[in-house]
A and B are shown apart, each in its own frame.
Chain A
Amino acid sequence: MKFCAVKQYFDDENNNNITSGASTTMIPLPNVESHPLAILITYCKKHLKIKANNADNKKETEKEMEQYEQELLKKVMPQELTELILAANYLNFKEALDFFCRAVASAIQNKSIEFVRKFFGLESDFELGEEEKLREEFAWSFEGVDED
């Protein structure tokens, strides 16, 4: 069970001896929207399927997963990644969390500071002149940055 938070729920239920038909139990997930949840479920199913198909061949599994991940990224907007990460984090779904963190890193690595601030909802808290000084120190790292 990849969604560890959900697994925890089932474990807790068993501990409390509540009989439940697994197929009809409704598990409350107040912190996850339906859209990211749908993507995560698809991701999870795909991952398990690929793993089953390539039972002994770890390298094949990795390769196929990579191809699937590349395809998935094309359909997901960078802004949606934050929601997906929060969902994966809440559900304690490690592989997806890892993948989406990598995706965010890839998406922001060549972006400007202003883009990054907007993406993470941050504001500059530097004193006047401090930021300029820092920019100067590594001026070369500002070369070749994507236009906003």
Chain B
Amino acid sequence: MMSQERGAILRRRTKDDLPDETVLDILARLPVKSLLRFRCVCKPWYSSIANPNFLSTHVPNHNHQCGYVIHIPRNIPQPSSSIPGSSRSSGQVCTLACDRTYETIFDFRFPFTHQSGFPHFVGSCNGILCFSYNTAAWSNVFYLWNPSIRKFKRLPDNQLPIMTFGIGCDSQNNDFKVVGIPQAFAKTKPPPEVGVYSLSSDSWKRVELGIELRPTVCYYTVNNSTALPFVCGHLHWILKIVEDVGGHARLSADMLLSFDVNSEKLKQLPLPDVEGSCFMKFVTSLKGKLALIEYKSDAQPYSTPCSIWEMREYGVIDSWNKLYVLSIENLLDFIGFTNYGLLLVQKGSWLVSTNSKLEWKYKYLLIDLETLHEKELSTQVNYHLEVATYMESLALLDGRNVVSY
């Protein structure tokens, strides 16, 4: 990789000039805004910065000590019409915040809109945010967006059925992929297929599911609370499988699927021995590892018992480790884990407002699972949030149909 650039970075090779590797080392530490500007320094710099291999070595020098998160609103239609940003996607923003303190840094305005109004957050990977809109024809329109370099791309249309999608990156080929599996499957329909979009080929294709489902399986559903976790090069889903077990009896069980973004193969991963099928489950990522959260809603009034597991060694059968067991009061929804391992949740409760009316208020709390200390965020939002790790990257710098704004 480097040998292709040797001699191409600096045109004068005197003993006083820095060697190529060193110049690339320096460039790799620059923030994207500087890199975009320095493309104009000279042709060799232009081609080095555009090189996909450089993209993967780029680690900007963070001047701040915190990582960044981006808050993305998921709008819920409100009965009253004057909630800001509730129904106009052109007014929608993502908020960039410091991961440790959640202080807002600034807002990114969505550079794209769609007549259906609400973008659904699919996931984030290496600086790219992926959103989809449900169109009237029951299919999805996708956008990939890199806010740090102000570029986005609408993906080509696909004829896929309704699916649960996630985004991951194939680091071996410097490629990003958007992958979906059918949200529901019934025995009588044709065998389910996985839909895969690859940025490098800018096209969708269908891939066999490749998972053997027993003939007694009637149907499955997929339901994930948060964006699908991309861990160790794999995307993950949990299926709830319902089987006929004789007579009119049916049994439901959970299956964890993992999709290798590089080889495009799907396989089943073991789940830990769990509380029981009446517990809801979903997977997410916790400090780079695959995590499982299981919880029982409606167990007691306003209190949700839950367990959090972590897969210590990826793919290893016995490495599921139960980390925490706790009960969360007034829980509405799980949002996800921060880089430091705090759990962000949404709670809701009725509060008496200043004019003595009962109002429903959302609040967002960070729970420290070691101490069970809860910290309320001061985010002034009254709708559901998604949270994703934000990073600067040069992804989408060049490519077909990429739009600058």
Binding site for B on A (CB under 8 A): 31, 82, 85-86, 89, 97, 101-102, 104-106, 108-110, 113, 116-117, 120-126, 131, 134-135, 137-138, 140-142, 145
Contact = CB atoms under 8 A, between A and B. Distances in A.
Contacts of B43: 125-126
Given A113-B41, A126-B42, A102 B36 contact: no
Interface string B240-264: 0000000000000000000000000
Interface in B161-184: none
Contacts of B61: 102, 105-106, 109
Contact of A113 (B17, B33, B40): B40
Interface secondary structure of A, over-half rule? helix
A121 B18 CA distance: 10
A132 to B, nearest CB: 9
Contacts of B40: 113, 124, 126, 131, 134-135
Nearest to B38: A116
A92 to B, nearest CB: 12
Interface string B1-30: 000000000111011111100110111011
Contact of A124 (B19, B23, B42): B42
B29 A101 contact: yes
A112 to B, nearest CB: 8
Interface in B12-66: 12, 14-19, 22-23, 25-27, 29-31, 33-34, 36-43, 45-46, 61, 63
Contacts of B404: 137-138
Interface secondary structure of B, over-half rule? loop
B34 A108 contact: yes
Contacts of A106: 61, 63
Contacts of A97: 22
B37 A122 contact: no
Given A86-B16, A131-B40, 6 more contacts: A106-B61, A108-B30, A110-B34, A113-B37, A121-B12, A141-B34
B150 interface: yes
B213 to A, nearest CB: 50
A98 B217 CA distance: 58
B18 A123 contact: no
A101 B25 CA distance: 7
A142 B37 contact: yes
A89 B22 contact: yes
Interface in B377-405: 404
Contacts of A137: 404
B11 A85 contact: no
A113 B36 CA distance: 11
Counting from the closest, the 5 A-B pairs by CB-CB distance are A105-B29, A141-B36, A138-B36, A141-B37, A109-B34
A107 to B, nearest CB: 10
B38 A140 contact: no
A86 B18 contact: yes
A135 B46 CA distance: 12
A138 B18 contact: no
Nearest to A137: B404
Contact of B33 (A101, A117, A141): A141
